[in-house]
């Protein structure tokens, strides 16, 4: 298939976007602005000015498949367009792209977590840093969607909105203790998914009930018929790690309360880490709608860390997200969405063996590699 024809596979995903700019002031098609921004983000650009410079350096390449009668848009044009573009409209286009990658979430562990874009504050305008709540399919390595909220404390209201945007049928949704709320558990079940929710002191009665339940199991030497136990050990980066997973039936009183939708099991994880001869331990507790099968519980509890390691950390280290000073209108949220789409594309690429930073450099230097990334959809 010729490259120009292959690129028709991705451009329609953004063709339905409504241009929010004033008609008489438009010199560049919105589709071109979005495609150039995505390509620049894939290739290592970290803001509108860098995207403009990248586009100008690759003008002949982009003219192969984009109609650019006025050349590459200026960084101000990128800034104005993305400041006005509605994030929910862009998210719908991104979700079409992800669907075209052919990765279903049924059976996936989908981790939901928040992240603050620390550089997006504007003191003069009284604007706090943007806080995003994202959903990450840990095995498929896809960021499925995001919603914004004013602060971490507002994740409780943002998470149900995110659940409404996604098709999570058959998935296992994991959320940290901030999201351990009865309404959120019910929303996950309404979405056709199971939940594994971390429990801490923000739910004091529930936390105490789980502690009491596992103390009773410990006093019985973990010999109860309902208890399942599994241990993993690992070594790397100069440390030894041991994880003991415990899973059991729900205590009768907790189930009888009816507060937690379809609650079917409780879990505990004991993490031991030894570094330079010093050992630290951490206990975590969970409730879940999954039946008490310890390996399924372990997969979900362990998988939740994927959003920290493979999304939040990578966005800061490889994409310099915290350093971004874009803060106008919807610009921070829209560029964050493009970063997450670029991250999903790069993590799903298997054509070369390289780090994410290396793949971004390749995309900037090698036009053919960039085209491979843009057109890596399964054949019908």
Distance CA 176, CA 158 (A): 14
Residue 12 lies in a domain: yes
Give the per-residue pLDDT at 151: 62
> 195 and 285, same structural domain?
yes
Mean pLDDT highest for which of 63-72, 209-218, 232-241? 209-218
Residues 284 and 349 in one domain: no
What are the tens digits of pLDDT across the range 168-197? 999 999 999 999 999 999 999 999 999 999
Q: What rounded mean pLDDT belongs to the chain?
A: 89
Q: What is the pLDDT of residue 327?
A: 82
For residue 113, give the nearest of 152, 87, 168 by alpha carbon.
152
pLDDT at 94 over 80: yes
Read off the tokens for 360: 């971004």
Domain presence at residue 314: no
Q: Looking at the domain assignment, is residue 11 inside a domain?
A: yes
Do the domain assignments include residue 312?
A: no
Separation of alpha carbons 48 and 41, rounded Å: 10
Do strands 194-199 and 172-175 pair parallel, antiparallel, or not at all (unpaired)? Answer: parallel
* Domain co-membership, 365 together with 267: no
Is the same domain home to 256 and 355? no
- List C-alpha distances in Å: 101 to 11, 96, 261: 14, 9, 33
Query: Which of these three, 229, 259, 294, is where a domain ends?
Result: 294
The model's pTM is 0.89
Whether pLDDT at 3 is above 60: no
Cβ-based neighbour number of residue 308 at 10 Å = 15
Give a yes or no: residue 201 inside a domain. yes
In the block, which residue shows the tokens 């018929």?
Answer: 225
**Is 27 within a domain?**
yes
What is the C-alpha to C-alpha distance for residues 72 and 69, in angstroms, rounded to an integer? 9
**Domain assignment present for 191:** yes
Q: What is the pLDDT of residue 5?
A: 53
Name the burial class of residue 102, with classes exposed (0-12), middle (13-18) and buried (19+) by CB atoms within 10 angstroms of its CB: exposed
pLDDT at 1: 41
In tens, the pLDDT along 297-309 reads 999 999 998 888 8
Range of the domain at 28: 3-98+344-374
pLDDT at 293 (0 to 100): 94
Burial of 137 (0-12, 13-18, 19+ CB in 10 A): buried
- Please list, in sequence order, all residues whose beta carbon lies within 8 angstroms of the beta carbon of residue 79, skipping any fewer than 6 positions away: 48, 326, 328, 331
> How close are the terminal C-alpha atoms of the chain, in Å?
14
Distances (CA, A) of 19 to 59, 63, 80, 97: 23, 21, 11, 19
Tokens of 354: 């390289």
Question: Which pLDDT score is estimated for 128?
Answer: 64
What's the rounded mean pLDDT across residues 347-356? 92
Alpha helices (H) in 24-119, listed in sequence order:
30-42, 48-57, 59-62, 75-84, 87-100
Residues 194 and 290 in one domain: yes
User: Total domain count for the chain?
Assistant: 2
Taking residues 256-266, report their average pLDDT: 94
* pLDDT, position 296: 95
Q: What is the pLDDT of residues 269-323, one digit of tens each?
A: 999 998 888 889 999 999 999 999 999 999 999 999 888 889 999 999 999 998 8
What local confidence, expressed as pLDDT, does residue 99 receive?
79
* pLDDT for res 144: 92
DSSP 204: H
Domain end residue (candidates: 254, 269, 294): 294
Domain identity same for 348 and 290: no
pLDDT band for position 42 (50/70/90)?
Answer: very high
Identify whether the C-beta of residue 347 lies closer than 8 Å to the C-beta of residue 357.
no
What are the residues whose beta carbons fall under 8 Å from the beta carbon of 124, sequence distance 6 or more? none
> pLDDT confidence of 379, banded at 50, 70, 90?
low
Residue 152 lies in a domain: no
């Amino acid at each position: 298939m010729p490259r120009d024809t292959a690129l028709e596979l991705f451009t329609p995903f953004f063709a339905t976007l409504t241009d929010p700019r004033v008609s008489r002031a438009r010199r560049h098609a919105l589709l071109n602005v979005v495609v150039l921004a995505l390509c620049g983000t894939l290739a290592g650009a970290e803001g509108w000015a860098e995207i403009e410079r990248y586009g100008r350096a690759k003008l002949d390449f982009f003219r192969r498949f984009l109609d650019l009668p006025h050349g590459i848009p200026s960084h101000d044009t990128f800034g104005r367009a993305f400041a006005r573009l509605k994030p929910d409209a862009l998210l719908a286009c991104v979700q079409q792209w992800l669907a075209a990658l052919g990765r279903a979430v049924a059976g996936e562990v989908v981790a939901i977590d928040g992240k603050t874009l620390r550089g997006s504050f504007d003191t003069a305008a009284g604007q706090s840093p943007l806080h995003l709540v994202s959903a990450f399919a840990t095995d498929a390595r896809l960021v499925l969607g995001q919603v914004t909220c004013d602060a971490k404390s507002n994740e409780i209201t943002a998470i149900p909105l995110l659940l409404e945007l996604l098709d999570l049928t058959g998935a296992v949704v994991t959320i940290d203790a901030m999201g351990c709320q009865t309404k959120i558990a019910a929303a996950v079940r309404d979405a056709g998914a199971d939940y594994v929710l971390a429990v801490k002191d923000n739910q004091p009665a529930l936390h105490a009930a789980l502690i009491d339940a596992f103390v009773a199991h410990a006093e019985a030497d973990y010999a109860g018929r309902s208890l399942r136990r599994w241990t993993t050990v690992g070594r790397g980066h100069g440390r030894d790690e041991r994880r003991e997973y415990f899973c059991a039936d729900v205590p009768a009183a907790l189930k009888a309360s009816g507060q937690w939708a379809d609650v079917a099991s409780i879990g505990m994880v004991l993490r031991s880490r030894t570094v330079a001869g010093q050992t630290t331990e951490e206990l975590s507790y969970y409730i879940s709608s999954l039946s008490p099968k310890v390996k399924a519980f372990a997969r979900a509890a362990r998988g939740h860390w994927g959003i920290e390691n493979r999304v939040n950390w990578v966005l800061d280290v490889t994409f310099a997200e915290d350093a971004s000073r874009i803060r106008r209108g919807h610009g921070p949220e829209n560029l964050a969405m493009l970063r997450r789409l670029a991250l999903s594309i790069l993590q799903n690429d298997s054509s070369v063996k390289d780090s994410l930073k290396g793949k971004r450099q390749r995309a900037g230097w090698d036009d053919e590699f960039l085209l491979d990334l843009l057109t890596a959809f399964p054949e019908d």
